[in-house]
Structure 1
Amino acid sequence: MAYHHKQSVDNSLGRNKADLILRGGQIVDVHSGRIKEGDIVVNGHRIVGLYDRSPAFVGSNTKIIDVSGKYVLPGFIEPHIHIESSMLTLTNFSRAVLPHGTTTVINDPHEIANVMGVRGVRQMMDEGHYTNLRFYFTIPSCVPSLSEEFETCGTFFSVEDIKSLLEEKSAIGLGEMMNYPGVIAPKIDVLAKIYETYRMRGFKKKPPIIDGHCPGLTGLELSAYINAGIMADHECSTGAELEERLAKGMFVMVRNGSYAKNTRELLEYVIENQIDTRRLMFCSDDRNPYDLLNKGHIDQTLAMAMELAKESGWKLKPFEIIRMATLNPAEFFHMPYRGRLGIGTRADITIVENLEKFNVWATLRNGELVAQKGHVVNDVQDYPYHENILNSVRIKRTFSVDDFQVRSGAKRQKVRIIEMIPGQLTTGNIIHKLEVKNGFLEADINRDILKIAVIERHRGNNNFSVGYVKGFGIKSGAVAI
């Protein structure tokens, strides 16, 4: 142990030559809120020199990268996402986001958990170690998401399953507790998941992390939910929800996903009411391949936030915005060596051309260059998935057009329709009259009323149902999800 500290001292004094020097960049200090030109010296995975330029660091094998005129920031942290919604493997997701400056991701794998159970989550965790991105995992708390009355699930997570997965090195806490009715009822089997997370993390002398999910919950019920041990929420869609959660002690993740887009409304409220941002973080929740390819990741959210701040006359300060993607999530997840640039911290570094659009010039992870000018470098091979988690869709029935017809004896029929709300995950419930043709209800493309079908795919029991939905905007064809 003493030898390790001697190495650290020698590294910072230049007695051991540096592996890498980032020369002459504008270093963004998220603690002081200042930008100062200087060098960053890296040895191994850590920063050993900051601001000071000395020939003592330079050896024959030292790599020097000129970053003059560019801004050097801590690597961006994604505090809550479901990688499955990107429809990418973890390896390909890493390839998509590393060029956008993301270096750490906290993944909640409850989609794969609902299909493949513990073995699917373990396989995903294993792949996480294999990539150039740093993955942590919150263990899914609600598998299945709904009871058997509402869905036929592929598997079921017991408290013992959660305890088993919490033993994994990359496990960081309990995933979003979607069953908030079960928490405040209270149901002992639901509370047991929270209790065991606290107990197991405490036993390992690691701080417990319990992620939340409580859209619309307010007042005494919100207080009870928080008092059960829930620490954060990413489901706020109004400023009032955000403010109440902060006032009652929660962290709030401000969501900018492909489907739920709450960032603009929430930040406008934060600016208007001058709310402190130290317990706010940016998250994606879900990010589809189109957005990853064409818009980016956390870098796009930063650019949006900076534009809003500029429109407000900088009532929201640039450093407040940057902290929401770096220091704030690092402190929430108790990662003292990430989310900031300091002596001894992990050399997870994002270099951008400006602090308006956050155009990422290069990304370093653990002191290694992993992306530059929009492309991955030093890539890894594709991960070899086990055969036992492939071919998980089990549909025995052959479907025909007739299976999706809805009979009616009327000429026009009142129908209950699911209404999608733009930028939100919650849906509305509306009634419309639909035409009947040859004894069957017709979809109405002109009013954007389409058929939607749910087909059981886990057990091959041939169950399916047909309904109607408004808001997709599809004029022809079909989509399978």
Structure 2
Amino acid sequence: MDQGLQKKKKIIAVAAGREPADLVMKNATFVNVFTGKLQEGDIAITQGVIAGIGSSAGAGTTGDAVSYHGRREIDMAGRVICPGLIDAHIHLESSLVAPVEFAKAVIPHGTTAVVTDPHEIANVMGTAGIDYMMEATRGLPLDVFFMLPSCVPATPMDESGALLSSSDIKKYYRDPRVLGLAEMMDFFGVVKEDEQCLLKIDDAEVCGRKIDGHAPGLSGKDLNAYVAAGISTDHECADIDEAIAKIERGQMVMIREGTAAHNLDALIPLLTSGYADRCMFCSDDKHPSDLLHKGHIDELIRRSVAAGADPVLAIKTGSFNAARHFQLNDRGAVAPGYLADLTVVDDLEDLNIVQVYKNGRLVFDEAGNDVSGSIGAGQLVDIVPPAINKSLDIAAHDTFRNHFFLEKDFHDSGTRAVIGTVDGEITTTRQGFSQSIQVDKDILKVAVIERHHGTGHVGIGYLNGYGLRSGAVATSFSHDSHNIIVVGTSDGDMALAVNRLTENRGGIVVESGGEILGEVKLGIAGLMSDESLETVDLELETARTAARSLGVNPEIDPFMTLSFLSLPVIPELRITTRGVFDVTEQKYI
């Protein structure tokens, strides 16, 4: 008998009460995303799927009373069962660790699925980077779905490690884990009918897949054109008016709260009956410290509830809405036929996660109960790193082609634009022009160095609002081309930081007076570490403390803010290997 048919028969037999379930969660209170209410019942699970929901002793249910029994039965009285949480848009590379370490971090926070865009590593390695991430996520107790990078490089203004055309990525739609085309950042290209942009959109539509958007501030006729092209989501809304305008045009709004971009507080008012069904939660970019100490999608739900949002509506936004949008029709709800991807909490206000089930298997237990036979004092099920093709692994650890730098390589006598940072945001402002570093006025030199092909290209500008008083900060994690970006108070400090970064084959370096005060080694494509999340978090916090000690503005993240300065699709000014770029005017200045 066909294996799928056999599984279906088993589920039906359990649902009909002819056979015992593998597991029954007795006396459960669960979130019903369809009615918007809490309901009580016994949840019967078999073959990793919820087969049925019966009536708990003394609990009233709609319809005929149904009783389920299982080979294992667990009393869930006093707990609330929620669907597993889903991050609708994330770049796994931004966690700075390999996917297996990311999984270890987010599963205890109730996340059972993420939708990732691997455009960070694709900008470094091309399709080999997509292949690497697909292999590195296979078989994890966390479902990792993919949106194909639409803009590699982000725009023609970038110099990345690869150029991906529509024909390069089209083949990936054959993989069931590929859900569509990732954020179309080149909204100028879409509106101006760029053929490559439209070919990529058309390929996704022909395959029946979704197309994500990325269009901060887009409005009026340009927004109409962008949505008319087939782009169905946006995660760049910074205020409620922009979000409502995009919902009115039919887009789904991804409410984002990450390490660099903080939009949740402004968009929580969307979590009402009028707009919530058009919303999803996402993190976009999330550093280790936030994952370990603040949480993941659970943090967005918790904060939304604290701000007055209905808890069930917030949970639905963090689960079912994303599943429905991406046509993941077997998850996001506690109901018959849905995967038993479940997050168990003690209450809906504090949202303290006590257990997480993936496909009906306990993968996290706060108390360390050995329910599944593999969880002990460590609380989290053992996760074996997926095997990665040796040639892919070697290529991922050898991605630097730039030469070493001297102080004179950063000398520049020209007048350059000054980019202003914005506290708590990744947008920038115009702050005039400068011919030199002026530390007393918080005007620093910033440079982007092409590192993929050894061209020697160096773009130079100035930065205001960063706050550095001495030394330099450099990183190879610079969106989206991931060249080297460095900011410093002197040319000599900048050269030292860049050379140390190159020696490390990527990462983050904080330097002052010839001394390395903090560093994080990111040996996988210059983006991710081979070390544990805890180790990377410790290194990152040491580097962050060092940067703060050198005067970096406490209202910005020293590294995430720096890394976004090179992304030429977010207003107003950015810097690339060719110099300072005016995003609004689409020209170098």
**What TM-score, normalized to structure 1?**
0.88
Residues 287-306 of structure 1 correspond to what in structure 2 (within 5 A)? 287-306=286-305
Q: Deviations over 1:433-468 (max 9, x none)?
A: 68xxxxxx3341x55433322111101222223332
Residue 79 (structure 1) shift: 0.5
Residue 357 (structure 1) shift: 2.6
Q: Deviations over 1:127-160 (max 9, x none)?
A: 222211001100011111121xx33211111111
Could you say if the C-alpha distance between residues 415 and 71 of structure 1 is closer, same or farther in structure 2, counting changes exceeding 3 Å?
A: same
Residue 332 (structure 1) shift: 0.7
Are residues 1:41 and 2:48 paired?
A: no
Alpha-carbon separation, structure 1, partners of 2:306 and 2:433: 40
Match of 1:253 in 2: 254
- The amino acid across from 1:335 in the alignment is L
Are residues 1:135 and 2:140 paired?
A: no
Residues 63-462 of structure 1 correspond to what in structure 2 (within 5 A)? 64-147=73-156, 150-199=157-206, 201=207, 207-268=208-269, 270=270, 275-309=274-308, 316-373=309-366, 377-385=380-388, 386=390, 387-407=393-413, 416-431=417-432, 441-444=436-439, 447-462=441-456
Alpha-carbon separation, structure 1, partners of 2:27 and 2:462: 59
Residue 421 (structure 1) shift: 1.6
Alpha-carbon separation, structure 2, partners of 1:218 and 1:88: 36
- Confirm or deny: 8 A CA contact 1:261 1:424 kept in the other structure: yes
For residue 165 of structure 1, give the secondary structure of its aligned residue in structure 2: helix
For residue 130 of structure 1, give the secondary structure of its aligned residue in structure 2: coil
Say what the alpha-carbon RMSD is for the aligned residues. Answer: 2.3
Could you say if the C-alpha distance between residues 357 and 476 of structure 1 is closer, same or farther in structure 2, counting changes exceeding 3 Å?
A: farther
For residue 137 of structure 2, give the secondary structure of its aligned residue in structure 1: helix
Indicate which of 57, 67, 85 corresponds to 2:69: 57
Q: Deviations over 1:166-223 (max 9, x none)?
A: 2222111011111111111112221111111111x2xxxxx42011111111111111
Residue 275 (structure 1) shift: 4.1
Residue 345 (structure 1) shift: 0.5
Could you say if the C-alpha distance between residues 72 and 373 of structure 1 is closer, same or farther in structure 2, counting changes exceeding 3 Å?
A: same
- Confirm or deny: 8 A CA contact 2:88 2:115 kept in the other structure: yes
**Identity across aligned pairs (percent)?**
35
**What TM-score, normalized to structure 2?**
0.72
Residue 474 (structure 1) shift: 4.1
Indicate which of 441, 446, 471 corresponds to 2:465: 471
Are residues 1:480 and 2:487 paired?
A: no
For residue 306 of structure 1, give the secondary structure of its aligned residue in structure 2: helix
- The amino acid across from 1:449 in the alignment is I
Alpha-carbon separation, structure 1, partners of 2:89 and 2:350: 23
Alpha-carbon separation, structure 2, partners of 1:394 and 1:377: 36
Alpha-carbon separation, structure 1, partners of 2:469 and 2:173: 46
Match of 1:204 in 2: none
Could you say if the C-alpha distance between residues 392 and 152 of structure 1 is closer, same or farther in structure 2, counting changes exceeding 3 Å?
A: farther
Alpha-carbon separation, structure 1, partners of 2:434 and 2:407: 22
- The amino acid across from 2:150 in the alignment is S
- The amino acid across from 1:286 in the alignment is D
- Confirm or deny: 8 A CA contact 2:11 2:49 kept in the other structure: no
Could you say if the C-alpha distance between residues 217 and 403 of structure 1 is closer, same or farther in structure 2, counting changes exceeding 3 Å?
A: same
Residue 71 (structure 1) shift: 1.2
Indicate which of 7, 10, 13 corresponds to 1:10: 13
For residue 121 of structure 1, give the secondary structure of its aligned residue in structure 2: helix
- The amino acid across from 2:300 in the alignment is T
Aligned residues: 450
Residue 274 (structure 1) shift: 7.5
Could you say if the C-alpha distance between residues 110 and 51 of structure 1 is closer, same or farther in structure 2, counting changes exceeding 3 Å?
A: same
Residue 376 (structure 1) shift: 5.4
Residue 66 (structure 1) shift: 3.2
- Confirm or deny: 8 A CA contact 1:232 1:250 kept in the other structure: yes
For residue 123 of structure 1, give the secondary structure of its aligned residue in structure 2: helix
Stretches of structure 2 lacking an aligned partner (at least 5 in a row): 57-65, 368-377, 477-589
- Confirm or deny: 8 A CA contact 2:281 2:297 kept in the other structure: yes
Match of 2:562 in 1: none
For residue 38 of structure 2, give the secondary structure of its aligned residue in structure 1: strand
- Confirm or deny: 8 A CA contact 1:132 1:379 kept in the other structure: no
- Confirm or deny: 8 A CA contact 1:115 1:392 kept in the other structure: no
Alpha-carbon separation, structure 1, partners of 2:379 and 2:176: 26
